[in-house]
Chains A and B, each alone.
Chain A
């Protein structure tokens, strides 16, 4: 097991280093001057040079990278060029907001995706299966921001039942009003993962049910309820891996969904940083999200052997 953990960890470190290089390179790969977005139009050459120096853009690129990496490792992601607030202070509340929405969305996706996938897997080629499969394909294929707009038009504008956008005003806790604001973006966000999870669960359940051990269990007279539990247990590693990836996507935030709903999460933060070319925020957010994604997959890798001990022997 220790060897398995170390091997997985060995994959993670070079990935993270690569991520850091890509993130830093954004500054120089993006077309135009990185300071354009923040440079005053009337400013004299002297002021422009002064601002460039204060951002450290007068140093050679490798030096800039090492300084940046050193700062990142000591927890300093720099200052937002637009808001002048520490990048970490920008990312943390945005991640909290996205986590809330992602937790809500993944909860809905798990309920919907696993339930529908199991039902479809157990009713293969019947009407239920076909209906669920078709719905899942539509869920994956329809642009979710469009569904978001439709939901807003019906539930917020026409019926006036739910807020159209935004996060609830801070009230010192988490209450009903917060949940009301999460429903439309949460449902919109859950659409794709629900479809993907439903399809994966269906395929895995069908595969597992074809295996000999299931037939043996059935032949030995095990009640269907007990057989079902064995199917679930054998299907769970695959499903867990997919859920891990989907959760990573949701925590990464959806730029489109968060922009459509003006939800101040990481997707919205990224959109803002791109629009205003706020490179430190862009670098920091991508770095944090990519690290989170890598670590999440690492944790999923670690969790899988507990569900399927064969994996440690591979």
Chain B
């Protein structure tokens, strides 16, 4: 028996089956037997197990349930954070660089993509030169050139440009903050000038994607229309967009990177914010792959003969603590004690094994881990000793106020996890009060910083974080002397040596040296216990048995092109 997926995917392209030709209406009178027959057939048809009508097409369709509640913006710079980048940007578009997502056993690094090579002018380290591929075509058939890169920079950076798009500007602003200007030296040579030396520029440009200027013009210069008929250079072409319902993408058979031409014909993206709905959709065969499988559904999904993939990725579930004088966490002994008080192994068990105990911002095998001397581990006696030195004990606890969210991007299961840690803290003399706000309100509080009015009396926020980028993950939150991002250094950690180490990392232009310097910075941050680190998520995904070839990379992004549908 064919499954629901065939029916679902093909209903979009197949006409409804013709209704049966009933006999029995004689002279306008419906005979009772005929009526009963019609009712039985009608009920049977409604409850017809899926796919019986449409099982013959043979089209290989991959249907994915996202956690987002809408399809991310499809014009080039997707909304929806990493999920938007994962499903829309990387599918329809390309960046100058890409992530190496071919292996599961090491953190993903950067690879050339639309740019084949790059160099920094040794005399002026603000000037970067990129050599671009000359065999790349947009979905509309036009050639991709350096002039298109400039046009796309303008759409996000120049409010006076006719094609400036406020929405894309907003989504791209994070990644263009250090770019001062750019010019096309020739059709396939691009020069980018930064505001000051920035060795991490490549990690920023990997998030800038290129839409076709010709398609935008063809559609009358209307980005709203472009969203429904976009043209990028990516491995998929968007063929249908129904907001809040679905996006359908088909294989771009002419994709320039032959190793990444999708191994299925069509990819259907369905927004499903509710975790139970995603699980039901997977179990009932309505989708083939679900994001963020809830831990308690893992046995059910496995029991149904389906696959669960997990892997550590650059995610941390921490407490960003306030370093202001008014906060108990301004005392390094209390910060260290909090780090030693958490029984991470049992917390991971509580999470069904779907997390990894944290020893810092990144995992110890990460090139940025370095060699911290302070070991983040479960050591309640050590924690009590530090608390005693600070003047506190279980009978005389220090009070800390923590703000958390009930749910949110990467927040895992905030309430039970915080309650678990609350008990751990109580054992060593830290009395943690929790206040819960919604995710967007928590984001507001993070942007405001510890000294903001919204955070009066708040000593820490429980806010999950991405460590995929050097600035996002390490430099931004610690580089106090140049806190270019409001809310990155939420706790206002201010330390001259940390600033210097951050500057050193930005000044490194060669990967190995940059990793070494980032390791030094990370070691210093861990040794100063700037945050309380808890766990890294394992990001479980559920896959139907017939989904083959998926490699879950250690990244916020994944390569879905290699997935085969084998039934």
Contact = CB atoms under 8 A, between A and B. Distances in A.
Interface of A: 31-33, 36-44, 47, 50-51, 54, 82-86, 90, 93-94, 149, 152-153, 156-157, 160-173, 175-177, 179-180, 183, 259-262, 264, 268-269, 271-272, 275-277
Contact of B280 (A44, A152, A176): A152
Contacts of B103: none
A261 B15 CA distance: 25
Contacts of A156: 280, 284, 286
A84 B73 contact: yes
Given A259-B273, A260-B276, 9 more contacts: A31-B441, A39-B170, A162-B46, A164-B277, A164-B283, A169-B246, A173-B16, A177-B16, A275-B69
B279 to A, nearest CB: 9
A54 B166 contact: yes
A142 to B, nearest CB: 17
Nearest to B170: A40
Interface stretch (B23-31, B336-344, B484-492): B484-492
B488 A169 contact: no
A32 B440 contact: yes
Contacts of B142: none
A177 B173 contact: no
A259 B16 CA distance: 27
Interface string B255-282: 0000000000000001111101100110
B284 A157 contact: yes
A164 B286 contact: yes
A52 B206 CA distance: 27
A83 B273 contact: no
Given A42-B485, A47-B173, A262-B271, A179 B46 contact: yes
8 contacts: A41-B485, A42-B173, A44-B177, A47-B169, A51-B169, A93-B243, A260-B276, A271-B273
B73 A36 contact: no
Contacts of A177: 7, 11, 16
Contacts of B171: 40
Identify the 9 closest CB pairs spanning chains A and B, nearest first: A32-B444, A40-B173, A175-B16, A169-B12, A84-B167, A264-B244, A42-B174, A164-B280, A161-B47
The CB with the most chain B CB atoms within 10 A, among A37, A40, A47, A167, is that of A40
B440 A276 contact: yes
B170 A51 contact: yes
The CB with the most chain B CB atoms within 10 A, among A173, A262, A269, is that of A262
A189 B174 CA distance: 42
A157 B306 CA distance: 14
A41 B485 CA distance: 6
A277 B447 CA distance: 15
A160 B223 contact: no
A165 B438 CA distance: 25
Contact of A176 (B12, B46, B488): B46
A164 B284 contact: yes
B523 interface: no
B441 A268 contact: no
Contacts of B117: none
Contact of B70 (A51, A54, A83, A164): A83
B16 A161 contact: no
A153 B280 CA distance: 7
Given A83-B243, A85-B224, A176-B16, A38 B170 contact: yes
Contact of B174 (A40, A93, A165): A40
B439 interface: yes
B277 A261 contact: yes
B423 interface: no
B249 to A, nearest CB: 14
Interface of B: 4, 7-9, 11-12, 14-17, 45-50, 69-70, 73, 79, 159, 165-167, 169-175, 177, 223-224, 227, 240, 242-246, 270-274, 276-277, 280-281, 283-286, 437-441, 443-445, 447, 454, 471, 476, 484-488
The dominant DSSP class at the A interface is loop
B245 A162 contact: no
A113 to B, nearest CB: 22
A163 B244 contact: no
A33 B444 contact: yes
A51 B156 CA distance: 12
Contacts of A33: 444, 447
Contacts of A44: 177, 484
A271 B69 contact: yes
B319 to A, nearest CB: 19
The CB with the most chain B CB atoms within 10 A, among A37, A38, A165, A271, is that of A165
Contacts of B243: 83, 85, 90, 93, 264
Contacts of A41: 174, 447, 485-488
Nearest to B4: A163
Contacts of A262: 270-274, 277, 281
B439 A275 contact: yes
B450 to A, nearest CB: 16
Contact of A268 (B50, B69, B438, B485): B69
A170 B12 contact: yes
Contacts of B7: 177
A165 B246 CA distance: 12
Contacts of A160: 4, 49-50, 284-285
Given A173-B16, A177-B16, A180-B46, A42 B175 contact: yes
Given A163-B50, A260-B276, A268-B244, A36 B281 contact: no
A36 B440 contact: yes
A95 to B, nearest CB: 13
Contacts of B177: 42-44
B281 A32 contact: no
Nearest to B159: A50
Nearest to B487: A41
Given A39-B170, A39-B447, A275-B69, A165 B277 contact: yes
A82 B79 contact: yes
The CB with the most chain A CB atoms within 10 A, among B11, B15, B79, is that of B11
A162 B272 contact: no
Contacts of A166: 245-246, 270, 272, 281, 286
Given A169-B246, A170-B12, A275-B439, A162 B47 contact: yes
